[in-house]
């Protein structure tokens, strides 16, 4: 199973953009990149996912490097409610339901 | 929809006792996952079901753990006998077979403390 590497923690000021990096140098061609976040005392929730192209939704943007060995989750304007642990996860299209979780990045706002 | 429902929310038991955690997935979802979360190991997948059939139980730590899904709306995770090292938050999640998005919807978790 492909692994991801994220910083343990990051800090941001309110109303400022946040760029959360993720390295996945062993990614295979059929691996999707997923981001989830976990608010305090809650279960994780889906944020965004992508394969090769950059993606945008109402919560965030996902920027994927051309070689796909890294990606960045972008929160355009951080609020206090964005303080959470953010997980970058790879899943193989052939066994898409299994997600392998790391320890994530703890974001303080 | 009420989301994924887990019970109990908190469980405190003594070593050696049997513990049963319960999960009701979101109606219409055909995949169900059991996870365990600790500070040291993070979020670990224990087992997942597809259409009520166990697909991958490689994360189940040992024979003391067992999981069942008798129908599409109910699953249990049982620990017998329980040990202090089983103390963790146990999450249940469900998902639809919807292509690449593969969004898993998590319940609120059960915090288990084994004394």
Query: What's the pLDDT tens digit per position in B8-32?
Result: 999 999 999 999 999 999 999 999 9
pLDDT exceeds cutoff 90 at A93: no
pLDDT exceeds cutoff 80 at B54: yes
- pLDDT band per the 50, 70, 90 thresholds, residue A96: low
Which candidate from A43, A46, A91 shows the least CB-CB separation from B108?
A43
> What's the angle, vertex CA B22, arms to CA B20 and CA B25, rounded to 5?
160
Would you say how long chain B is, in residues? 115
Question: What was the pLDDT predicted at B33?
Answer: 95
Higher-pLDDT residue of A3 and B76 is: B76
> What's the angle, vertex CA A41, arms to CA A40 and CA A44, rounded to 5?
75
Q: How many CB atoms lie within 10 A of CB A42?
A: 14
Mutation site for A-interface testing, chosen from B102, B103, B106 by largest number of A Cβ within 10 Å: B102
Whole-angstrom Cα distance, residue A67 to residue B10?
Answer: 45
B2 touches chain A (CB under 8 A): no
Check: CB of residue A48 under 8 Å from CB of residue A22. Answer: no
Share of chain A above pLDDT 90, in %: 75
Check: CB of residue A13 under 8 Å from CB of residue A78. Answer: yes
| pLDDT tens digits, B87-97 | 999 999 999 87
Which candidate from B43, B48, B56 shows the least CB-CB separation from A101?
B43
Distances (CA, A) of B68 to A27, A42, B33, B65, B97: 33, 24, 11, 10, 20
Is residue A31 exposed (0-12), middle (13-18) or buried (19+ Cβ within 10 Å)?
buried
Check: CB of residue A37 under 8 Å from CB of residue A101. Answer: no
pLDDT exceeds cutoff 70 at B40: yes
Check: CB of residue B114 under 8 Å from CB of residue B48. Answer: no
Which range, of B9-18, B62-71, B75-84, B99-108, averages the lowest pLDDT?
B99-108
Question: What was the pLDDT predicted at A29?
Answer: 85
Pairing of strands B10-13, B110-114: parallel
């Amino acid at each position: 199973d492909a692994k991801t590497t994220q910083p343990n923690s990051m800090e941001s000021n309110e109303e400022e953009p946040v760029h959360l990096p993720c390295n996945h140098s062993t990614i295979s061609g059929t691996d999707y990149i997923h981001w989830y976040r976990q608010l305090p005392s809650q279960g994780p929730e889906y944020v965004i996912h992508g394969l090769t192209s950059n993606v945008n939704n109402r919560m965030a943007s996902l920027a994927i490097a051309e070689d796909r060995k890294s990606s960045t989750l972008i929160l355009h304007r951080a609020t206090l409610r964005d303080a959470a642990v953010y997980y970058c996860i790879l899943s193989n299209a052939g066994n898409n339901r299994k997600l392998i979780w790391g320890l994530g990045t703890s974001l303080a706002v | 929809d009420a989301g994924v429902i887990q019970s109990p929310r908190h469980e405190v038991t003594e070593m050696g006792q049997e513990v049963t955690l319960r999960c009701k997935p979101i109606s219409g979802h055909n995949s169900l996952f059991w996870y365990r979360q600790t500070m040291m190991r993070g979020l670990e997948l224990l087992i997942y079901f597809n259409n009520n059939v166990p697909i991958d139980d490689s994360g189940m730590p040992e024979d003391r753990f067992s999981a069942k899904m008798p129908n599409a709306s109910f699953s249990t995770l049982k620990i017998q006998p329980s040990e202090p090292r089983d103390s963790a938050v146990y999450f249940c999640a469900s998902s639809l077979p919807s292509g690449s998005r593969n969004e898993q919807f998590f319940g609120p978790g059960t915090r288990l403390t084994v004394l």
